[in-house]
Structure 1
């Protein structure tokens, strides 16, 4: 599935959602004007290039593109006047409009995973990659992360980075750092002057572990997670949004299926 096919599905999902809100003005993809198709394609490209981008970032990307094209705020959408009621900061959007950004992001990442299982074509993205063990003693690029949460100690059971003391700095891999720094109220980035030895870096797969051992460690880890932690785990590790209507048991089962399919990521 290429980027245009992903954009088409995202457009049709948005059209169906708008219809559920009483807005039947959205045209089908085949009838959509070129500017509307290009807008959807730009959104797809942004999320494929920035898999950790939030729904807020999605809206900002859309907003800046519209602004550059001459669009302004208007209480009612008017394509001729280039006026749109969503030409406001993300925090000022009503919940039903914020939902569009969540839906768009979810569709792109879900279909990117489908595309990865198909023969590669231009525009496809790769599935979540397995990180092989790093031999002990090998230097790897790293970044520093400091724990700034309110508790005196913090036991990180979500990402497996261990126990943190208030103000403690740890060298972590770039991939793990990106995940931790999504929680800006808990962690902050600090610079490290030199690369660190792999043995001092928390890796998704520790030196000496096989993929099966690493996957089993994750299976054991998720057994103790509540529903919210499981959903965050799936989103962070595999870029999959779990249906919030699932029970705790079904949510855990879904996450374990992701681990079995993609391994320790």
Structure 2
């Protein structure tokens, strides 16, 4: 049986398994990028050449290939950045990820001796097509649920409510702090937080977060709901950081307009306590003061 056909079947089974875990990121075989197809075919070749290889050895082979291609660990799979959440030693993988290696090996050895016939190829294509249709329907349903929840959260915010959209964290980490969107909210596995609609829309782009469909207030919310307080503090800190950056940029513009050495010497001493040699050129003195501003920042006083 051709390696590509086995790889296609492995990919379809893996996609179905991911969907059962709430991960809708796996495309159909036809839509999969070439690097993903190549990775699947390399995995098939490894098991065909090493029939006694364990799931752990399968992952090690995948890891070595990814490392050779320049991949690294990342919380979200990103082909452009070459980041993958499974780029970890096998022992550190969640059980849900280890299961994929068992499934992959089982599929390879189940179908490796089947003859390559038009009927089998057609059946494989039908499996992929049905899987793709299922994913599309599931995706449309989830998108509708998310849009409805975000819409309701927006309406609640407009009416002065404090609830927003309930999102649930289901990532691989026991504790995760959201920094990508500067909210600084900390989530434990399974925790539900009610967040503003705009933040919910961003978080729900990642498979680690889902809409919480349960009614009532989650125990994790009721215990200590510091969401609003954390968001206010983050907003304050971001605003202060923007103000500091603007102050530094104004100072740099001021330095670039200084052409008097005495003024530059005085500025460095008063603001940073740094002595500046007058035998340097004006351009070099400006560069040194600007480096101090970039490194230390201008005093707020």
Q: TM-score, normalised by structure 1?
A: 0.43
Q: TM-score, normalised by structure 2?
A: 0.38
Higher share of residues assigned helix? 2
- Higher Cα radius of gyration: 2
Higher share of residues assigned strand? 1
